[in-house]
Amino acid sequence: MDKEQILAMSALELGQAIRDKKTTSVEATAAMLASISEKDPKYNCYITVFEEAAMAEARAVQDKIDAGELTSPLAGVPVAIKDNMCTKDRPTTCGSKILSNFIPPYSATMVHKLEEAGAVIVGKLNMDEFAMGSTTETSYYGVTKNPWDVTRVPGGSSGGAAAAVAAGEAFYTFGSDTGGSIRQPCSFCGVSGIKPTYGTVSRYGLVAYASSLDQIGPMGRDILDCAAALNIVMGKDPKDQTTTDSVPIDLEEARTFDVKGLRIGIPRDYFGEGIDPDVKARVLAASAALASMGASVEEFRMPIVEYAVPTYYIIACAEACSNLSRYDGIKYGFRAENTEDLMDVYFKSRSEGFGLEVKRRIMLGNFVLSSGYYDAYYKKALQAKALIKKSFDEAFEKYDLILGPAAPTTALRIGESLSDPLKMYLGDIYTVLVNIVGLPAATIPCGQDSMGMPVGLQLIGAHNAEQTIINTAAAYQRATDFHRQKPKNEV
């Protein structure tokens, strides 16, 4: 099988072809590495590529497949992961200067699970520094560009992960989602992604941004690839006490699911001021398509949406300022030169090692936790969190799923929101609620705007309702071809 045939396949199709001996993991890995070498100078999706190690892994994995030792439907398929998940003896930078020389002594639990399933890790993907950003412009390693239009951002913070799938530089990837960092870049890049229920995937080895919000999830060309990838990494982990026993996704059920009788709610508050008319039209067209397939679709009020962004940023920044205090120039990572004493080491290492957006969020976090402001901000944010949970609980008494946009606009031009941080923060309005209360959600493509840029549809479920989300997304993708459309540069 030639390189172009291999690269045209979805992850599940390639896994089947490897099992059927139509190709091998070695051929697939070589094809993907060639694609990365050819395209990545243009898009900057990767921070590190493990060329020699990946080929050695592919040969070892192929031997196990031939011996019948690996049964995962994605065994032998190359994968890439966001550069905030620890990989033993391989760089993990979090897109930051302060970790530019960091080589972890251990791997994340999800990396171990991927390796045990026979996945071949080809590299680490670009991201906003410490996952703080919505555009992948805050990375120390440069901006990742959107394969649909290189003058636009791919979203963030998992922009490298989404752009790599869209550009044909990865069959599937893993990102992390703290406030929409999987779903929003999927929307901007026209690919599919899942943010699972909090605790579904172990965070052991994921470099923390906001520990109560962070969750690892897959991104792929279609929702079934994502579901198969999620099955590999989900489950309880003794190294992460927030993990839960999870029921694997039934892929056959998803392939045959009928949405007839499914109850879908659409919050009117998602379609008010600030949403692009093209985005609104495409999302409502998707809801009409599901209704025509037999689902019951109705609008409802969810006024708590207006508190989403302030609640999220207060909680996230409060946790971030604590998590990032460990980067002090002493234990690991970057250390400033020409320092006079210990305090000077701390001050200069953090001043030179962290970028502007990270410093901004550390300062905001310290402010909302400080004496005199704790009750006014952080305590109120926790109270708002309880109200948000109550709103979702009430909604899921009536509906099986909540449907809406993943972002208020399509991909912004490079530099457009970085110059206006508030605009960047407000772009998270449709995604952050899910993280605040730990719900599962997915984004899938549902069309394009007048400029030909992808629009993403977000499906939100109750706790542990991943199967319902994936069933519905798979039914929609069987009825449409938006997930098969590629950037004009990559057709």
Interacting residues of 52 by C-beta distance below 8 A, sequence separation 6+ = none
Residue 105 lies in a domain: yes
Residue 268: what pLDDT?
95
Predicted local distance difference test score (pLDDT) of residue 416: 87
- Rounded mean pLDDT of 478-490? 91
What's residue 44's pLDDT?
98
Domain membership of residue 10 as a residue range: 3-259+468-490
Strands, sheet with 192-195, edge to edge from the N-terminal-most edge strand: 46-49, 120-125, 78-82, 172-176, 216-220, 192-195, 441-448, 454-461, 401-405, 263-267, 296-300
Exposure string of 442-479, with b = 16+ CB inside 10 Å and e = fewer, is bbbbbbbbeeebbbbbbbbbbbbbbbbbbbbbbbbbee
Q: Does residue 422 surpass a pLDDT of 70?
A: no
Does residue 135 belong to any structural domain of this protein? yes
Q: What percent of the chain has pLDDT over 90?
A: 95
Q: For residue 476, what pLDDT is reported?
A: 98
Examine residue 423 and state whether it is found in any structural domain, yes or no: no
* pLDDT at 425 (0 to 100): 73
CATH number of the CATH domain containing 216 = 3.90.1300.10
Pairing of strands 78-82, 172-176: parallel
Do 269 and 301 meet the contact criterion of CB atoms below 8 Å apart? yes
pLDDT of res. 490 = 65
Query: Is residue 364 within 8 Å of 317, Cβ to Cβ?
Result: yes
Q: Residue 440 domain-assigned?
A: no
In a domain, 243, yes or no: yes
Q: Is the pLDDT of residue 418 over 80?
A: no
Look at residue 264 and tell me if it is in a domain. no
Gap between the Cα atoms of 110 and 126, Å rounded: 18
316-356 pLDDT, tens digit per residue, is 999 999 999 999 999 899 999 999 999 999 999 999 999 99
Residue with tokens 């936790």: 369
Does 187 fall in a domain?
A: yes
Q: How far, CA to CA in Å, does 346 sit from each of 3, 53, 123, 227, 359?
A: 50, 36, 31, 43, 14
Determine the average pLDDT of the residues in 386-406. 97
Q: Is residue 171 part of a domain?
A: yes
Average pLDDT for the chain: 96
Task: State how many domains the chain has.
Answer: 1
Give the active site residues: 82, 157, 181
Percentage of the chain exceeding pLDDT 70: 99
In SS3 terms, the chain reads as: CCHHHHHCCCHHHHHHHHHCCCCCHHHHHHHHHHHHHHHHHHHCCEEEECHHHHHHHHHHHHHHHHCCCCCCCCCCCEEEEECCECECCECCCCCCHHHCCCCCCCCCHHHHHHHHHCCEEEEEECCCHHHCCCCCCCCCCCCCCECCECCECCCCCCHHHHHHHHHCCCCEEEEECCCCCCHHHHHHHCCEEEECCCCCECCCCECCCCCCCCCEEEEECCHHHHHHHHHHHECCECCECCCCCCCCCCHHHHHHCCCCCCEEEEEHHHHCCCCCHHHHHHHHHHHHHHHHCCCEEEEECCHHHHHHHHHHHHHHHHHHHHHHHHCCCCCCCCCCCCCCCHHHHHHHHHHHHCCHHHHHHHHHHHHHHCCCCHHHHHHHHHHHHHHHHHHHHHHHHHCCEEEEECCCCCCCECCCCCCCHHHHHHCCCCCHHHHHCCCCEEEEEEEECCCCCEEEEEEEECCCCHHHHHHHHHHHHHHCCHHHCCCHHHC
